[in-house]
Structure 1
């Protein structure tokens, strides 16, 4: 078996299929989103898949559906978390099928930037009612996530909780990270890949999506397609702004 076929056989999620025959109407949310309207099957990279696109194109909705269909809590955490702060997730997970590989991960985590505060609070509440020798926070570095800066708490999860041999679904992990920390996250992603992990990441960060052993799927108002890094809007806009800052500012600020 060639290396590419071997990697695909060993990946944890090979693809996600939309069960189109179950959808009553494609003019209602979330099926009206262009990226979902024509979706039949989306294949994932054996190691890292980036889901990118403008706000409102359905990145988080798609990622959430994959995470919940796998068994993760809609607000984030491991499969053992069952808390609900606000049941606002879509029902898309009920209309998708995950095509799984032959291997099962030993670890897993769903990081969702918008509900990370709720996750950190739940960890503290569970530790407050548990025994002193069974503290959940120990696997997150041992320090309360609420006692760190937002960026420090995010990175504590990446460094301490993600242990390898796992499926990791990250929704906008750059939300609290400086550019330097985003580059450090690339290093951490590479470490996890070398530890037989698969990552599916929704991001706006042109830094993070530069990780080379990956596939980039861009969601647009016309649907979804696979792109090279240099073809993404994120890279092109960053390059244009950096190389022609005065010109871009003049366009943006002129009355």
Structure 2
């Protein structure tokens, strides 16, 4: 079987428009959701990008719930809930899966990662003498590491391959160097028949060469290239014309 087929677990997501109660209420009033018909996923890496408020996390969360993941992150075996804030979008999505079944899976969510780490510590205390959950994350409590180190410990130790991995803003605590290391780790796992769906603001993380990028805008969803994203163009402009851009920014404050 070719790699393109082995790594394909989730083919697409479709909005069941006829079941939507109203396109005038959240989350269906978001332009990206309102215009959503069917979104096809790349067998290796799919990026979902766009400005804040465009619905990236809302869409990622709904897909993850549809796949059986906990809304706050983790594997399908996690069922903790700090606060039920997820939308009803998942109830109106149809996920088209491949005949291939992933052996591993994880929904990484930066904003609720602290809650995940706390839940792991709690479960390990309750297990007593049984195998510790934290051992599959590197053996050291995620709370006893820096934010960036604990993020990377999950990517390095818990992601095992043959998996479907959803990641919502994984760059949140990663330095540029660590983001490049994350790209290398993604490539390793793709080589082990894994599929990634990543919501990110990072031009570095968006740089995986065999991927598709969907940009969520006020007009809807568009497929784009790295060099055409606002994230890439703005970063390039800032690096190449830092003094001029700073002058423009500070002038706007006067």
Shorter-chain TM-score category?
A: over 0.9
After superposition, what is the alpha-carbon deviation per residue over 1:68-88, rounded to whole angstroms, capped at 9, x for unaligned? 000000000000000000001
Q: Which residue is 2:100 aligned to?
A: 103
Q: Distance in 2 between matches of 1:189 and 1:180?
A: 14
Q: Distance in 1 between matches of 2:17 and 2:124?
A: 43
Q: Distance in 2 between matches of 1:172 and 1:67?
A: 14
Q: Which residue is 1:60 aligned to?
A: 57
Is 1:250 aligned to 2:232, yes or no? no
Q: Distance in 2 between matches of 1:207 and 1:7?
A: 23
Q: Which residue is 2:132 aligned to?
A: 135
Q: Which residue is 1:26 aligned to?
A: 23
After superposition, what is the alpha-carbon deviation per residue over 1:100-145, rounded to whole angstroms, capped at 9, x for unaligned? 0010000000000000000000000000010333100000000000
CA 194–24 in structure 1, closer or farther in 2 if over 3 Å, else same: same
Unaligned runs of 5+ in 2: none
Counterparts of residues 176-255 of structure 1 (less than 5 Å):
176-254=173-251, 255=254
Is 1:174 aligned to 2:171, yes or no? yes
Aligned residues: 252
Q: Secondary structure at the match of 2:180?
A: helix
Deviating above 3 A after TM superposition, structure 1's stretches of 4 or more consecutive aligned residues are none
Q: Secondary structure at the match of 2:222?
A: strand
What RMSD over aligned residues (CA atoms) do the two structures have, in Å?
Answer: 1.2
CA offset at residue 24 of structure 1?
A: 1.6
TM-score by length of 1: 0.97
After superposition, what is the alpha-carbon deviation per residue over 1:196-229, rounded to whole angstroms, capped at 9, x for unaligned? 0000000000000011111100000010111011
